[in-house]
């Protein structure tokens, strides 16, 4: 017989070791995210047991803004409702923005992480964990908002968001319509590509 040689007290002999069984692959169980709501029923925080997949940015030349036409564009303002198609990509001043937590549509309202877009626009964002609030500064704007509170301030002027900001994966999620007001930018949805285009107002 052939096999692995094994030493014994009486000498040397050949033994055939059993072939190890192939390891079993066990698929992880899907665990629903834990959703915390405030007293008014609005979402305060979403906690996930697994890391949220990062947004895959399309490669190649970025012609999203140039190819968009007025026939395919929907301006995103307060009250704009989009189909609940889930996630979408964001193009800021001609460049796709990377997110570690995805922009999404919640009950027709397009929502996005705040920090990524504000910092991509040249601003600075500070998180205050105790009060769960954000202070941001950039492009002549001072922005303050708090998780669960629809009232934000931009240069000390109060602005009511159509959806209260909430946490998802450690990121503050706000309506895109708020960014339009806070940053004074154009925010449009391109029906042809499924992208949201953010450009500076002229």
**Parallel, antiparallel, or unpaired for β 133-138 and 124-128?**
antiparallel
CA pair distance 179, 108, nearest whole angstrom = 17
In a domain, 153, yes or no: yes
CA pair distance 165, 151, nearest whole angstrom = 9
Q: Could you report the per-residue pLDDT of 113-163, keeping only the tens digit for each?
A: 999 999 998 899 999 999 999 999 998 999 999 999 999 999 999 999 999
In a domain, 5, yes or no: no
In a domain, 123, yes or no: yes
In a domain, 28, yes or no: no
Nearest CA to 116 out of 4, 23, 28, 196 is that of 196
In a domain, 55, yes or no: no
Residue 191 maps to which CATH number? 3.30.457.10
What total of structural domains would you count in the chain?
Answer: 1
Q: Does residue 152 sit in helix, strand or coil?
A: strand
Question: What domain range is 108 assigned to?
Answer: 74-200
Q: Could you report the per-residue pLDDT of 160-184, keeping only the tens digit for each?
A: 999 999 999 999 999 999 999 888 8
């Amino acid at each position: 017989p052939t096999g692995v040689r094994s030493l014994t007290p009486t000498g040397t002999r050949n033994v055939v070791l059993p072939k190890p069984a192939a390891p079993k692959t066990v698929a992880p169980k899907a665990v629903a995210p834990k959703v915390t709501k405030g007293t008014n029923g609005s979402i305060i925080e979403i906690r996930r047991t697994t890391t949220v997949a990062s947004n895959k940015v399309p490669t190649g030349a970025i012609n999203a803004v140039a190819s968009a036409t007025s026939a395919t564009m929907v301006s995103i303002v307060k009250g704009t409702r989009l189909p609940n198609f889930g996630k979408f990509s964001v193009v800021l001043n001609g460049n796709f923005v990377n997110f570690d937590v995805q922009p999404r549509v919640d009950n027709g309202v397009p929502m996005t992480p705040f920090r990524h877009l504000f910092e991509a626009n040249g601003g600075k964002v500070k998180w205050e964990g105790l009060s769960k609030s954000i202070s941001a500064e950039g492009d002549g704007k001072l922005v303050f908002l708090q998780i669960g509170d629809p009232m934000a301030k931009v240069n000390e002027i109060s602005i009511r968001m159509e959806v209260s900001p909430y946490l998802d994966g450690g990121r503050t999620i706000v309506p895109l319509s708020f960014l339009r007001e806070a940053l004074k930018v154009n925010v449009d949805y391109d029906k042809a590509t499924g992208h949201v285009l953010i450009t500076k107002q002229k």
